[in-house]
Amino acid sequence: MTVRTVLRMGDPRLQRPAEPVRRFDEPELHELVADLTDTMHANSGAGLAAIQIGVPLRVVIFGGDANPRYPNAEPVPFTVLVNPEIAVLDDTFEEDWEGCLSVPGLRGRVRRHRHIRYRGFDPPGVVIDRIASGFHARVVQHECDHLDGILYPQRMDDLATLGFIEELQAGGMLDPAVAVD
């Protein structure tokens, strides 16, 4: 178990699509998940994709305890999701602030699908199949974007809302309870 370095925007490894996991329940996969979990917790992340620690596999983790970086978010169950797929359930959207451990210190407003169904596997290979909405759906969409080499600024409709957390808070745009990262 190791806290790994999180790659930052501009690193070309964040832009390459990740490969599917082909063998479940292998020691390498469990070690990867342990490292992802340690790294996410050390950085108070809401989620983390394997690609962000330089491992180009389709593995994401998200959720868990209340998060100081997203103090107003509804709770999301801690989940390890391998080879995820997203289906959009309707044509409603929701815009909200988003951040990323690969884009430290910044927040921007991103429009995401409000209602999704996501499917994948846990590390032993058991199917996960859930309906999600709101922040839960947002986190899953953000993490799965990483697997396709996409960072949230690429999803923004208005780059004028991209800014440093402290400046956005000083200007009254962003909740002062949001922890700086």
Task: Enumerate binding residues for Ni ion (CB under 5 A).
Answer: 100
What DSSP string runs through 115-142?
EEEEEEE-TTS-EEEEEEEHHHHHHHHH
Write down the least CB distance from residue 143 to Ni ion, Å. Answer: 7
Nearer to Ni ion, 16 or 124 (CB): 16
Which residues, at least 6 apart from 103, have a Cβ–Cβ distance to it below 8 Å? 8, 9, 151, 152, 153
| Cα gap 176→166, rounded to integer Å | 8
Nearer of residues 24 and 96 to Ni ion, judged by Cβ:
96
CB of 45 to Ni ion, least distance (A): 8
28 carries an active-site annotation:
no
Residue where the block lists tokens 């790294």:
39
Tell me the residue number closest to Ni ion, measured at CB. Answer: 100
Of residues 105 and 125, the one with the C-beta less far from Ni ion = 105
Per-residue CA distances from 17 to 13, 20, 109, 158 (Å): 9, 10, 24, 25
- Report, in Å, the least distance between residue 154 CB and Ni ion: 11
Q: Known catalytic residues?
A: 143
